[in-house]
C-alpha cells in the first residue's frame, strides 16, 4: 500500500467515526428533547390528562371537600385506560385564606395541570384573577358561581332549599322539646365564618324554614371565626343552650365536633349540613340537609374528560335536579325523631321536590 493510500484510508475512517458520532448524538439529542417535553407535560398530557384538586382548607372535618376529592378520583379511575392514564393530585391549601391565590397561581404557572378543580364560594374570584395571567389554565369550581369566563365552569347548589329544610326540622324538634322560660322559639346556627352565601342565602333561609313552623321563631347566630376550632364551637353552642336554644344547625367544618359534644352534654340537638351526619352522634343529630357534591364532582369531571364541559357557564342545581336533599331513610333519624315530626318534614320535602313550594334564589 502506497503511503498516500494509507493516509486516504485513515481520513476515511476518521470521517466515518465522526459521522457516526454525529448520528448517535443526534438521536440522543432528540431523545433528550422528547424527555424534556414530557417533563413540561405538553407532549405526554395530550395522552394523559392531569387534574389538580385544590382544597381551600383541609379535607378532614369538611364534608364538601372530602366529597370533592372522592368524585374527581372516581371519574378519573373510570376514564383511565392502559393507553390513557388520568392522574389526580390533591393539594390542601390550608386555613390561611390569604395564601390561596398564591398557591393556585403556582399550580397554573407550573403548566402541569389541564384542569384545576376546587369548591368554595370564594374560589371564582381567585380563579378569575389567575385565569387572566394564565390563559391556557382551566378551572372546574363547585359551590360558587361565575358566568362568562371562558376558562372557568361553575356549579352552585340551591342552598336556600337546603337551609330551609334544616330550619324546618330544627323548629319542629325545638317545638316538641318546648321552650319554657323563653317568650318565643329560638333555634341556633353556628357558622365557621361570615360570607355572602351564609349571610344572604343560608341564614335567611334557615330562619324562613323555622318560621314556617312558628312565625315567631328567631335565630341565634354565632360565628366561630375559623373552620377548625372545636373548643370555640363547643363554647358557643353551650352558651346558646344556656340561653334556651334546643336545636343548633352547625356549619363550621372541624368545629362541628365541638357543637355536637356540647349539645350531647346538655341534652340539646344538632342539625347536620352537607352530608349525612346521623352517625356522628346518634340521638343528638336529628336532621341531615345534604348536598351530593361527590355526584356533582364525578359528573362534571367526566364531562371534562369527554371534552364536553361548557366553560364559561354557571349552573345552579337543587332538590329537583337531585343534588340537594334531606336524609329520611336512616335508622338513626327514625329512632331519634318522632313519627309526627318526620311526617311533617316528609310533606315539606315532597312540596319542594314537586315544585309546590318554590324557593327561588
Ligand atoms: N366549609 C367547611 O366545611 N370547611 C371549610 O374549611 C370551609 N371554608 C370556607 C372558606 C371560605 C372562604 C368560605 C366562603 C366558605 C367556606 N366553607 C367551609 C363553607 C362552605 O363553602 C359551604 O358554604 C358550607 O359547607 C355549607 O354548604
Return the half-sphere exposure (C-beta side, CA atoms, 13 A cut-off) of residue 98: 0
Sign of CA dihedral 235, 236, 239, 245: negative
Identify the band that residue 22 occupies on the pLDDT scale cut at 50, 70 and 90: very low
Q: How far apart are CA 169 and CA 324, in angstroms?
A: 15
How many Cβ atoms from other residues are within 10 Å of residue 20's Cβ? 10
Closest C-alpha residue for ligand 1 atom 19: 120
What is the Å distance from ligand 1's center to 200 Cα?
A: 14
Q: Which atom of ligand 1 is nearest to the CA of 227?
A: 6
Closest C-alpha residue for ligand 1 atom 16: 120
What is the Å distance from ligand 1's center to 9 Cα?
A: 80
Identify the band that residue 13 occupies on the pLDDT scale cut at 50, 70 and 90: low
Q: Is 71 in the pocket of ligand 1 (CB under 6 A)?
A: no
Please give the grid coordinates belonging to residue 335: 329512632
Least confidently predicted of 168-182, 314-328, 334-348: 168-182
Least confidently predicted of 8-12, 38-42, 357-361: 38-42
**49-94 per-position pLDDT tens digit:** 999 999 999 999 999 999 999 999 999 999 999 999 999 999 999 9
Identify the band that residue 20 occupies on the pLDDT scale cut at 50, 70 and 90: very low
Please tell me the predicted confidence (pLDDT) of residue 44. 73
Share of the chain above pLDDT 90, in %: 84
What is the Å distance from ligand 1's center to 123 Cα?
A: 11
Our mutation pick for probing the ligand 1 site, out of 62, 167, 230, counting the most ligand atoms within 8 A of Cβ, is: 62
Give a three-class secondary structure readout of the chain. CCHHHHHHHHHHHHHHHHHHHHHHHHHHHHHHHHHHHHHHCHHHHCCCCEEEEEECCCCCCCHHHHHHHHHHHHHHHHHCCCCCCCEEEEEECCCCHHHHHHHHHHHHHCCCCCEEEEECCCHHHHHHHHHHHCCCCEEEEECCCCCCCCCEEEEEECHHHHHHHHHHHHHHHHHHHCCCCCCCCEEEEEECCCCHHHHHHHHHHHHHHHHHHCCCCEEEEEECCCCCCHHHHHHHHHHHHHCCCCEEEEECHHHHHHHHHHHHHHCCEEEEEECCCHHHCECCEEEEEEECHHHHHHHHHHHHHCCCCCCCCEEEECCCCCCEEECCCCHHHHHHCCHHHHHHHHHHHHHHHHCCCCCCC
Closest C-alpha residue for ligand 1 atom 17: 120
pLDDT score of 357 more than 70: yes
Give 184 or 199, the one with higher predicted confidence.
Answer: 199
Q: Which atom of ligand 1 is nearest to the CA of 57?
A: 6
Our mutation pick for probing the ligand 1 site, out of 59, 95, 119, 121, counting the most ligand atoms within 8 A of Cβ, is: 121
∠ CA(145), CA(110), CA(293), 5° rounding?
A: 30
Identify the band that residue 180 occupies on the pLDDT scale cut at 50, 70 and 90: low
CA-wise closest residue to 226 among 192, 273, 260, 259: 192
The mean pLDDT of the chain is: 90
Average pLDDT estimate for 293-313: 98
Please tell me the predicted confidence (pLDDT) of residue 29. 33
Q: Is 124 in the pocket of ligand 1 (CB under 6 A)?
A: no
How many Cβ atoms from other residues are within 10 Å of residue 10's Cβ? 10
Q: How far apart are CA 347 and CA 344, in angstroms?
A: 5
pLDDT score of 314 more than 70: yes
Our mutation pick for probing the ligand 1 site, out of 251, 259, 317, 325, counting the most ligand atoms within 8 A of Cβ, is: 251
Closest C-alpha residue for ligand 1 atom 2: 253
pLDDT score of 24 more than 80: no
**248-276 per-position pLDDT tens digit:** 999 999 999 999 999 999 999 999 999 99
Q: Which atom of ligand 1 is nearest to the CA of 274?
A: 27
**Could you give the domains of the chain?**
3-157+294-317 (3.40.50.2300), 159-291+328-354 (3.40.50.2300)
Give 184 or 205, the one with higher predicted confidence.
Answer: 205
Question: Starting from the edge strand earliest in sequence, which strands make up the sheet with 186-191, in order?
Answer: 218-223, 186-191, 247-251, 269-274, 285-291, 324-326
Q: Is 62 in the pocket of ligand 1 (CB under 6 A)?
A: yes
Q: Which atom of ligand 1 is nearest to the CA of 63?
A: 3
Give 20 or 203, the one with higher predicted confidence.
Answer: 203
What is the Å distance from ligand 1's center to 253 Cα?
A: 7
Q: Is 253 in the pocket of ligand 1 (CB under 6 A)?
A: yes
Average pLDDT estimate for 3-13: 56
Identify the band that residue 47 occupies on the pLDDT scale cut at 50, 70 and 90: confident
Average pLDDT estimate for 211-226: 97
CB 209 within 8 A of CB 344: no
Amino acid at each position: 500500500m502506497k503511503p498516500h493510500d494509507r493516509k486516504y484510508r485513515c481520513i476515511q475512517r476518521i470521517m466515518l467515526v465522526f459521522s457516526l458520532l454525529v448520528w448517535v448524538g443526534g438521536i440522543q439529542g432528540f431523545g433528550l428533547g422528547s424527555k424534556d417535553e414530557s417533563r413540561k407535560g405538553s407532549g405526554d398530557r395530550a395522552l394523559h390528562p392531569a387534574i389538580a384538586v385544590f382544597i381551600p382548607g383541609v379535607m378532614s372535618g369538611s364534608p364538601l371537600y372530602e366529597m370533592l376529592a372522592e368524585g374527581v378520583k372516581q371519574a378519573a379511575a373510570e376514564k383511565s385506560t392502559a393507553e390513557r392514564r388520568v392522574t389526580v393530585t390533591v393539594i390542601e391549601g390550608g386555613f390561611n385564606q390569604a395564601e390561596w391565590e398564591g398557591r393556585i397561581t403556582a399550580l397554573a404557572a407550573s403548566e402541569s395541570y389541564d384542569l384545576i378543580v376546587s369548591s368554595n364560594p370564594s374560589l371564582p374570584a381567585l380563579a378569575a384573577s389567575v385565569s387572566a395571567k394564565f390563559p391556557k389554565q382551566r378551572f372546574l369550581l363547585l359551590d360558587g358561581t361565575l358566568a362568562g369566563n371562558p376558562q372557568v365552569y361553575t356549579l352552585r347548589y340551591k342552598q336556600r332549599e337546603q337551609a330551609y329544610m334544616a330550619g324546618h326540622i330544627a323548629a319542629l324538634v325545638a317545638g316538641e322539646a318546648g321552650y319554657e322560660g323563653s317568650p318565643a322559639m329560638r333555634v341556633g346556627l353556628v357558622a365557621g365564618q361570615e360570607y355572602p352565601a351564609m349571610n344572604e342565602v343560608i341564614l335567611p333561609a334557615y330562619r324562613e324554614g323555622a318560621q314556617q313552623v312558628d312565625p315567631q321563631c328567631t335565630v341565634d347566630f354565632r360565628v366561630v371565626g375559623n373552620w377548625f376550632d372545636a373548643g370555640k364551637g363547643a363554647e358557643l353552642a353551650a352558651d346558646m343552650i344556656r340561653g334556651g336554644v334546643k336545636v343548633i344547625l352547625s356549619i363550621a367544618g372541624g368545629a362541628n365536633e365541638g357543637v355536637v359534644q356540647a349539645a350531647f352534654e346538655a341534652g340539646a340537638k344538632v342539625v347536620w349540613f352537607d352530608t349525612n351526619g346521623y352517625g356522628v352522634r346518634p340521638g343528638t343529630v336529628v336532621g341531615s340537609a345534604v348536598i351530593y357534591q361527590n355526584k356533582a364532582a364525578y359528573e362534571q369531571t367526566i364531562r371534562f374528560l369527554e371534552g364536553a364541559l361548557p366553560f364559561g357557564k354557571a349552573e345552579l342545581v337543587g332538590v329537583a335536579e337531585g343534588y340537594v336533599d334531606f336524609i329520611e331513610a336512616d335508622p338513626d333519624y327514625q329512632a331519634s325523631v318522632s313519627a309526627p315530626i318526620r311526617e311533617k318534614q316528609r310533606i315539606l320535602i315532597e312540596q319542594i321536590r314537586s315544585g309546590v313550594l318554590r324557593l327561588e334564589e
